[in-house]
Structure 1
């Protein structure tokens, strides 16, 4: 998540007089060159919604202010998202909406229902049920409401984990569990064990049910929650990652660098002040510069640091973790904004290919990382400089979903994904 950016159309309108006096070449210098993928350069979308690699197509499946089945309007600013399998093979999208306090009535058309977590909170989770073949909406509804700045989150064996990115009030800054089968707004299910801080995303390991949690702060940490017993997944201890025998700052690390890690127990995971990271850092925890997306691929944890790396344009870490110790490797660290510019949400295909979307300084892209570590483009926001979010695969891995946050669109992308691994 970043401060909302003006669209290209707004910039042109606001600065047209100044733009006429600037040579064209000076503008071109500000657009980093995007390398071509294996299928060729991205094709320009004549509708100016989303450019894609040859062979891929998108479909708009939902949009802001559309009337949902429960009578509410689709809220603005869709963000993190995950897919679940529904009845009769339907696709169930669980989708966050990153909204500040005070935006509520205008956003949804009427007041929150009585089950709202906080009547003044504006964040929400919506559920969209799609036909797996046609991608038509079968139904849609609120699931969680009255939260604050629901940024990303993650799928889990128990449902969608929705993360609040606003710890300014002691009642906010938590993770909430949401049921993909809920057909109406439900009472909030807050997971205190996952801590109170500026949450971004969450990823759960199969079997052990260890949950990895990112923090969107420039001086943030990477956390994990370890259950005492996998059968009681929300009872356990919260820990912060530490680098063994070296610098506690991950931001300078470049592609291919590795570090040994372990984990520090945190005695009070829900402090009244937003200072959990400060407590962790004093105990030796590593700094992760704006931790955002996190996912599991082939049993390994993949973590995004949005402004880490040698030019502050992002890193993707791969963690091989054990019960007490593990290793952290930099899968990719940007040294060229044309190749990676502030990665954000991340997901993995069944074959282990990592896909991520950007929230960068210019036009944002959907990219993927090949098996040999190359970062290549798959798509691009064609209509604005707005953030791309919510990247996730359908249960059969045939459809990739993304949100265009400022436009308020949810897109479904289909094409030859199998050709991208290499």
Structure 2
């Protein structure tokens, strides 16, 4: 039985399936392995320098320092984490962070009509510091996270039309924030920390939908790559004078937390320092490796520079590379990994902000530094095609 099949079986019905230790040991023994992708081999690079499977096409949506086509708005530099929101009128909005130092950091949004044409673009957050990744909430706000030692989470309002007024959420902790993922079942928001000895957190709002107050917790575990875990309260979310990751004895350390994605009682997150994708079964209270580049046999490992992550409605995971071969790799629900796309001629960049439209038929992402290798050379793309849904 495949690991994610086992995971799903364990949460079907009124109660969770009791899983013995020996069964979990066998289930946890096989992170994703090389396989032919569900869409077949990559074709030659298109006019945008992107290699895609047959049937898929790419287009450039925006370039840093240039006006977004169809709008009067100049796109920000160093585009990073992103998400898509339904706009309530048949179209959607793509949000993108700007990973620039203060006061140039922040986030922007592009609104598209039902045919995918940009109709407006605007700033939703300004004056902040190194907004790297973040996460969308079920109430249609974007959590923009600052990747600095005293970084904060800012709640922004992309559906407001003009960006609204962003609000800082200090109760979610001050640390080297990276990504966020919302869990409406447990009413929790999971948070990654981009440090070589970082932690994995969850924030429990006092009232779901209101992030002004709540409890910050850290994951505790005693084993290396799989096993059970618990949560413990972080005494001082402000992280001063003691950093949040050093306040709780037994907090599990992760090497460079990056992207984070929640679906179906599971949260996945990536760690760039060891090229891993972690999978947390929230119903069973267990965690394991969904991918490790050292455990791909036979090699070579397709995914290196593990970074941002998102998922399709089908259950496929799409993991972007920071460096590597400038690829987005796909991990299927039966734990097979393959390359979905590769960007040519941009080896000094990284792929950021992968996000599907609400319909699941378009994938947005950025090359943070484009062909120039500079934060002023970012390019944001859209890929359209027969995605599994």
TM-score range, shorter chain: 0.7 to 0.9
Deviation at 1:87, TM superposition (A): 3.8
Deviation at 1:234, TM superposition (A): 4.0
Aligned to 2:316: 353
Cα distance between partner residues in 1 of 2:335 and 2:273: 19
Unaligned runs of 5+ in 1: 1-33, 102-120, 309-313
Deviation at 1:274, TM superposition (A): 7.1
Aligned Cα root-mean-square deviation (Å): 2.1
Cα distance between partner residues in 2 of 1:302 and 1:405: 23
- Is 1:136 the counterpart of 2:117? The answer is yes
Deviation at 1:188, TM superposition (A): 3.0
Deviation at 1:51, TM superposition (A): 1.2
| Secondary structure of the structure 1 residue equivalent to 2:89 | helix
Deviation at 1:154, TM superposition (A): 0.6
- Is 1:58 the counterpart of 2:28? The answer is no
Deviation at 1:62, TM superposition (A): 1.6
TM-score, with length taken from structure 2: 0.82
Deviation at 1:189, TM superposition (A): 0.2
| Secondary structure of the structure 1 residue equivalent to 2:247 | helix
Q: 1:146 aligns with which of 114, 117, 127?
A: 127
Deviations 1:93-133 (A, max 9, x none): 111010124xxxxxxxxxxxxxxxxxxx1101101001232
Change (3 A) 1:231 1:127: closer
Aligned to 1:11: none
- Is 1:187 the counterpart of 2:161? The answer is no
Cα distance between partner residues in 2 of 1:219 and 1:136: 43
Instruction: Give yes or no for contact 1:298–1:352 (8 Å, CA) kept in 2.
Output: no
Task: Write the mapping of 1:15-414 to structure 2, written as runs, cut at 5 A.
Answer: 37-67=37-67, 72-101=73-102, 121-133=103-115, 135-158=116-139, 159-167=141-149, 172-230=150-208, 232-243=210-221, 246-247=222-223, 250=224, 253=225, 258-273=226-241, 275-280=243-248, 283-308=249-274, 314-322=275-283, 326-335=285-294, 336=299, 338-360=301-323, 362-385=324-347, 386-407=349-370, 408-414=378-384
Change (3 A) 1:363 1:175: same
| Secondary structure of the structure 2 residue equivalent to 1:43 | coil
| Secondary structure of the structure 2 residue equivalent to 1:89 | coil
TM-score, with length taken from structure 1: 0.76
- State how many pairs are aligned: 342
